[in-house]
Amino acid sequence: MAKPVIGLSTYLEPSVRWGVWDLPAAVLPAGYHRLVQHAGGLATLLPPDDPEQARAAVALVDGLVISGGPDVEPVRYGAEPHPQTGPAYRERDAWELALIEAALATGTPLLGICRGMQLLNVVLGGTLMQHLPESVGHDGHCGPPGVFEHHEVKPVPGTRLSEVLPEAMTVPTYHHQAVERLGRGLLASAHAEDGTLEAVELSDGSGFVLAVQWHPEAGEDLRLMEALVAAAQSL
């Protein structure tokens, strides 16, 4: 049986250096494609493109991962920028929002990671908390620049996530924003000890639509990606 193709959204950076070159490039940490490969899928990268092409791109893959990255521009959910909110990446925002909409419309299995979870929430009309430490009173969700923090998350019993990850677990994390108001049709499926929402899924259970706030590509647990690959394989 052929391996299912899993599309991974990427960064589009104005300057990336390799060898003697310093050029614009579409890039993604290798942990993402390695996680797909180790989970039994065939990874392919989906760099930012015209949002009108999102449906065509999603048609080429069996499953979709919206990867982590910079803050979502607050205008996308009707808010003014917080002083701690990062610069806008409008091209990437538009592309990934369109990819999510296409996946939802076509029933393509979808896994959101960190920023990907936040974008899924925004697509469905939810809002984001722009600087989490102001609400939880600590920096435990984000380590020093370039260093993952770790904390425990607890799946909500009876959710799809709890079928994949039935027990509390310690996860790699790096985010200073989080879901505030849940989007339409989304169900909270995991929390951190401080109450931060750590995973969401479609409440009606239709298809495979799951998103987590942590970074499975920075760890060794394959179960989330294996679940996506299995859902993609079954189509």
Which of the residues are catalytic? 114, 215, 217
Q: Give the CA angle between residues 32, 190, 143 to the nearest 5°.
A: 55
User: Cβ distance 69 to 26 under 8 Å?
Assistant: no
Sign of the Cα pseudo-torsion (111, 116, 117, 123, in order)? negative
Rounded Cα gap, residues 121 and 126, in angstroms: 5
Q: Which two tokens stand for residue 137?
A: 């009173």
CA Rg, the chain, in Å?
Answer: 17
Query: Following DSSP, what letter does each residue of 168-215 receive, concatenated?
Result: -EEEEE--S-EE-SPPTTEEEEEEETT--EEEEEETT--S-EEEESS-
Q: Give the CA angle between residues 177, 167, 219 to the nearest 5°.
A: 55
CA distances from 126 to 36, 91, 120 (A): 28, 20, 9
